[in-house]
Amino acid sequence: MRTGRRRWWVVNGWWNFEWLLKVCFVIEIIHMSNNNCKFCNGNMRYVYNYSGYDVIQCTNCHSSTISTLPSIEELEKFYDGFLFNADLCKKPAVVNKHIKAWYKSFNLRQQANMLDVGGGGGYFSFAFERFGFGKAFYIDIDHQACEFASSSLGLKNVINSAVENLHEHCKEKEFDFIYCRHVIEHLLEPTRNITNIIKLMKDDSVFVLQCPNGYSLEKSFYISNTKRKIKNLVSCNQFSFFAALRIMLSKKIVFGLEPIRHLWSITPKGLDSFLAQIDGIEYSVFTASLSDPVFSPWVSQTKNFKNKLLLKISQIFCSRFTGGAHLVAIIRKSPSAETS
């Protein structure tokens, strides 16, 4: 019996919906690989799927994001009642001599103004006022976090708004110290927001920007965390266990990227490349370990023996190779900009 060889377009004609979806997918992949990195302008390419999100990474600086970012409405819904770190037990870890000495090291004027961008629990604002450095202005998208900051911590200058609306609320004020701690990785437009914050700086302001270090292996020793990520990579990509483990030990680790909460994984090279493009500032970019009492007050002051041991081990074996889990930039206006 002669079996008819039917051509593929007869079986799966151009009008076939499934075929059209495949074409759209290929176009999307090409589109993604044509997107440029927001930090260094390098090429972005697809690396793998994580939790159902397509992860794209810069081939130059290895900063990463997801191919389709959520809408503003989705994010507002997600952060309504997010209440990150809002627990009075966490207050003592911030109101301590390390943070006080750190604030003091910036030689701020007396009765300075602090801007706490996306302040979460509000502890750093609280500590700033408690130590007598001046007034803190706190802004956060989560109305419950704002409620906690004003009623439980007694902060007077609380603004419930998205960081994207910072200028509306703050353009008339002058800030000596601006702290944006673990916020930009949550935003749709991290680089635009960094630029907007820099526009709020006076000639002698200090702006401290902190986010996860996209290269960091420091949390790899937290076994349950690593196991969860490997399991996710295996199930979403049909990788073998060892292929997923290799990714977790490479520059494709994209540390910090946890959609929809964290939309960006930013590397020191990416942040440095971006800041280098901004006129009129001088800055330093460095990483800080989880055992750093200023940049990591809660984790560093753990009383749990097992966690203390993990911190030590990860510091010895990981921080020295790929840097600490926190990526920090200290930004000032350059003296030449003051006179121009």
- Tell me which residues touch Zn ion (CB under 5 A): 37, 39-40, 42, 58, 60-61, 63, 270
Q: Shortest approach of Zn ion to residue 190 CB, angstroms?
A: 12
* Closest distance to Zn ion from the beta carbon of 41 (Å): 7
CA end-to-end distance (rounded Å), the chain: 89
DSSP annotation of 167 reads H
Instruction: Report the nearest approach of Zn ion to the CB of residue 246 (Å).
Output: 22
**Distance of closest approach, residue 159 Cβ to Zn ion, in angstroms:** 32
Q: Output the smallest distance, CB 232 to Zn ion, in A.
A: 24
Q: Please, what is the minimum distance in Å from the beta carbon of residue 267 to Zn ion?
A: 8
- Nearer to Zn ion (CB atom), residue 36 or residue 165: 36
Which is closer to Zn ion, CB of 257 or CB of 311? 257
By the 8 A CB rule, do 294 and 100 touch?
Answer: no
Instruction: Tell me the residue type at 33.
Output: S
Residue 272 or 292 with smaller CB distance to Zn ion: 272
Asked if 88 contacts 152 with a C-beta cutoff of 8 angstroms, the reply is yes
User: Is residue 42 within 8 Å of residue 269, measured between CB atoms?
Assistant: no
Measured from the CB atom, is 55 or 311 closer to Zn ion? 55
Per DSSP bridges, beta strands 175-181 and 112-117 are parallel
**Ramachandran area for residue 333 (φ above 0: left; ψ -120 to 50: alpha; else beta):** beta
Half-sphere exposure of 136 (CA within 13 A, CB side): 28
The residue (of 40 and 155) whose beta carbon lies closer to Zn ion is 40
54-63 CB burial, b ≥16 within 10 A, e <16: bbbbbebbbb
Query: Which residues in 89-115 are b (16+ Cβ under 10 Å) and which e?
Result: eebebbbeebbbeebeebebeeebbbb
Q: Which is nearer to Zn ion, 61 or 136 (CB)?
A: 61
Which lies closer to Zn ion via its Cβ, residue 39 or residue 126?
39
Closest distance to Zn ion from the beta carbon of 32 (Å): 14
